[in-house]
Structure 1
Amino acid sequence: MTQLDSRGLPLSTTSDLAAEHYRKGVDLLLSTWPGAAEALEEVIAADPDFALAHAARARLHAMCAEQAEAKARIATAEEIVARHGSGRERSHVEVLSLAINGQSTKALERALAHTDTWPRDIVILSLPLGAFGLFAFSGMVDHDQARVELCERHARHFDTDDWWFLTYRGWAHAENGNVTRGLALAQRAYDLRTNNANAVHALSHAMYEGGASEDAEKLIADWLPRYDRTGILHGHIAWHAALGALERGDSERALAIYTDCIQPSATAGIPVNVVSDTASFLWRLQNYGHTTPAGLWEAVATYSGEYFQKAGFAFADVHMALIAAAVRDRAAVEQRVDALTGLIKAGTLTAGTVVPAICRAGLSFAEEDYAGCVRILEPVVVDVARIGGSGAQREIIEDMLLLALMRSGEAVKARALLDRRLHRRPSPRDTRWRELLPA
């Protein structure tokens, strides 16, 4: 009997046990839920020559920032699939190998081609999607729209109650500005599978973009205790609750969440989330007018010193520069800017000039040169999406420009920017800032 995956695609294993654990492992993997590693190891034990099991395990290693393990596993999958495997499985392994080995542009190209032929191969369809997917980190300014188009192109291939597809389709629409549709899709995904960290993540984003941060806080407060703290999205989802508290001006609550779930010593998150979540939270706390307890920035700087020292990962570069600027390490920011400029000249930094510009603007802002920050940031703010991540994560760049305009006496420009933001998304914080401006 032909074995099938969870979306009805044939598998090249004859083991009922291997197929059963593969279906379970992939669903856990794609809901970012604990237990995926154990399930996939069970697959490999049941059928060591099942290439897709090794490929899925490689993908999970990569998600957990375990690069050496990921490369070893995908090499095993390549060796096996070359000996026996269907055309889909060979293409599947090839795409994952490109992604894991850092060939992101080729991986995106091959993933899109693969999903045109096999749209229900959700391990591969997941790669371009999400805040840290191949589209987000492609350097494209319109990656939000690209995700929507990809989901809509393949929507007819999925059941209306496919929790995985609903999750990512909802997230894509909410990030692209269609918050009402995105929220409805993500809510349906959550209702179908509550043990799905990605659905809670998508809902949190949709609620935030819709100006319903308090709803996101309530959702997370109820749901987070059931998600094991070893889950790699635990700290990041808590970060969303902390943002909601800051929106309301409740710095005490926000700091309590940070201390318990987000700071480096408290989270099991992957480095890119830990660096970006801690940096962006502390930046907001400090610049939204609250007291930042002594030592928090220094602890983040110590943690981040172990990661992302080589420039070229735009999303990390920006947050590393913010951390360095916050602890007054001007030399570190300048060295990163120089390295990024060199990559631009070599044509290897896909996100382009916006990346060193944000780094320099962050340094100017930290040094209270607000007019200088405006001069640097204003011309490139339209390209901020090129660094990747989500709208909520990138919002601090626009916040930086807004506060720099306010503090450098550019009230007219600040008011215009605030009016645009308030039209896009109701925000008690923006309303408070609007009231501070002269009539």
Structure 2
Amino acid sequence: MKRDAYDLLTSTGSDEANRAFEGAVFGLATHRPNTGAALQATLAADPDHVAAHALKGFANLILAREELGATASLALGDAERALAFNGGGTSDERILVAALEAAEQGLFARAANMLDEGFRHRPATFLPFKISHALRFMLGDAAGMLQASTRAIMALDPESSTAGFILGCHAFSLEEHGHYDDALRIGQRAVAMQPDDSWGLHAVSHVFEMRGDTAEGVDWLEGSRTAWSRCNNFSFHMAWHLGLLHLERGDYDRVLRIYDEEVRPQQTDDFRDMANAVSLLWRMEQSGVDVGARWSDLADIAHRRRTDTTLIFAALHNLAAMVAVGDRAGVAELVAHIDAKALGLDDQARVAAEVGVPMSRVLAGLDTPADRRVLDAMVAHLPKIGGSNAQRDFFVLALAKAVGSTGDTTGVARIGQLRQRLKAEDQLFHSIEHSTDRRLSAA
């Protein structure tokens, strides 16, 4: 048995596998593109490395692609066989595999709870902490993220190699609750301790975005470009934040350059890349910017994935891309699949039922909530879509636009009040309000 540099006790007898696995965990922490290669090296050195199989399974599930479910299932089977080969493995490994089994069934909340509870006495053990944080992020479970990160920092050794990374996660959890001063302070401390902590950099950029501190936000992202530009496709997301800040400043030419060169430099179909691109293009169009033919590749990808409801957050962004180009057949098919998803029993089925179904109709222009209780319920359930407050703001704005199209100024104002609890006002929301006022006056 070996305890790795991140406090995880594994049953491997291979020093080479242990070193490679530590590299994989570091890659996970820093969002580096070599994480997969490090996992392959781990399993080449020890084909029965339980934690490596478990991490491979979680990594495929977090990609939220329907076709990768089979790969995750194979990883779970490999992890279970590795446990048996290693005489039942360590307690740490058994917890990881049990949580992976729950996640593979679509029960991300249960998996995150199992990781948090299983490591309750060692809450700063980095791998299970980070996986739980990622799962809760996908569920929009800000409360769970903050509870876990608070326990972790209370048990944290400030001299440990993961201290900066855990503080970065804590900063993000604080930011999602609107505790901006604390998030800024802790996020900056995290980055000072661990300059490779892109999630900490990200947390601080969220603070500037949500408070409307555009100049400081641009300076922060440009000043840390050396760090986040080394990331995997997470660098596209950091560029998305930079684009949002310039958009709020009205520098539309700069936003288009950022979109072409840094947000969408590759026509990938990763749902996170799609979400960046769809939401930024939509915001630009609402600001009166001509985005040219930039919707085309997004809509093509969305059409190919029109039956995939693995993650409702992803499905709704795909829906918006097809709406943008008038792909009525694709829109109708995806709306029907979201309806069908709502009949299931896993976490995303509940998300579909509570918010995915009504939001899909709003995005598709099929329905607008007329009843105030329905509108309030939609806004209240929005966090369950997953992602961050900044990402979900796209849905809030789309909902406000749809409500405003009916001339419901009171409804738009209600959405604005709920939105202001976390985000400073910006030009785009004001334009939606003014458009509603003009429509009502014309009527």
Q: What is the distance in 2 between the residues matched to 1:100 and 1:118?
A: 24
- Native 8 Å contact 2:96 2:128 kept in 1: yes
Question: Residue 36 of structure 2 aligns to which amino acid in structure 1?
Answer: A
Match of 1:373 in 2: 368
Identity across the alignment (%): 23
Residue equivalent to 2:132: 128
Cα 1:43–1:268 change in 2 (3 A) is: farther
Structure 2 CA distance for aligned equivalents of residues 280 and 116 of structure 1: 37
Is the contact between residue 303 and residue 322 of structure 2 (CA under 8 Å) also seen in structure 1?
A: no
Q: Distance in 2 between matches of 1:269 and 1:198?
A: 22
Alpha-carbon distance between aligned partners in 2 of 1:305 and 1:177, rounded to the nearest angstrom: 36
TM-superposed CA distance for 1:388, in Å, is 0.9
When structure 1 is superposed on structure 2, of 62-71 and 76-85 the one drifting more is: 62-71
Q: Gaps spanning 5+ residues in structure 2: where? A: none
- Partners of 2:315 and 2:429 in 1: CA distance: 31
Shift of 1:339: 2.9
Q: TM-score, structure 1 length as denominator?
A: 0.85
Spell out, residue by residue over 1:374-417, the C-alpha distance to the aligned partner (whole angstroms, 9 max, x if none). Answer: 53873422211121111111102221233345554444554565
Helix, strand or coil at the partner of 1:134 = helix
Q: CA deviation at 1:242?
A: 0.8
Contact 1:231–1:268 under 8 Å retained in 2:
no
TM-superposition CA deviations, 1:93-120 (whole Å, max 9, x none): 2323432464435423422332325423
- The aligned amino acid for 1:93 is V
Q: Provide the residue aligned with 1:368 in structure 2.
A: none
C-alpha deviations, 1:325-371, integer Å up to 9, x for none?
21122333333333333333455511123211111111228xxxxxx
Structure-2 residue corresponding to 1:358: 359
Residues 301 and 19 from structure 1, CA distance in 2 versus in 1: closer, same or farther, beyond 3 angstroms? same
Cα separation, 2, equivalents of 1:213 and 1:157 = 35
CA contact (8 A) 1:311 1:339 kept: yes
Q: CA deviation at 1:231?
A: 0.8
Q: Which moved more, 1:252-261 or 1:111-120?
A: 111-120
Aligned to 2:85: 83
For 1:350, the aligned partner's letter is R
Look up the match of 1:145.
143
- 5+ residue gaps, structure 1, are 366-371
The 3 A distance-change label for structure 1 pair 82 and 287 is same
Aligned twin of 2:324 = 326
1:20-419 equivalences under 5 Å are: 20-63=19-62, 67=68, 69-84=71-86, 85-100=89-104, 102-129=106-133, 133-138=134-139, 143-160=141-158, 162-227=163-228, 231-263=232-264, 266-267=265-266, 271-293=270-292, 295-307=293-305, 309-311=307-309, 313-348=311-346, 349-351=349-351, 352-364=353-365, 373=368, 375=370, 378-379=375-376, 380-415=378-413, 417-418=415-416
Residue-by-residue CA offset, 1:208-251 (whole Å, 9 max, x unaligned)? 12222332322222333554567121211111111111111111
Separation of aligned partners in 1, 2:369 and 2:107:
35
Q: Is the contact between residue 32 and residue 231 of structure 2 (CA under 8 Å) also seen in structure 1?
A: no
What's the secondary structure of 2:304's corresponding residue? coil
Q: Alpha-carbon deviation of 1:165?
A: 1.0
**Kept in 2: contact 1:234–1:267 (CA 8 A):** no
CA RMSD of aligned residues (A): 3.1
Question: Contact between 1:247 and 1:429, CA under 8 Å: does it hold in 2?
Answer: yes
Q: 2:311 is aligned with what amino acid? A: F
Change (3 A) 1:101 1:408: closer
Contact map agreement 1:18 1:47 (CA 8 A) in 2: yes
Structure 2 residue matching 1:30: 3-state secondary structure: helix
Q: How far apart in 2 are the matches of 1:112 and 1:329?
A: 43
The residue type paired with residue 130 of structure 2 is S
- CA distance, structure 2, for counterparts of residue 359 and residue 334 of structure 1: 10
Q: Report the CA distance shift for 1:164/1:270 in structure 2 as closer, same or farther (over 3 A).
A: farther
Residues 347 and 431 of structure 1: is their aligned pair in 2 closer, same or farther, counting only changes over 3 Å? closer
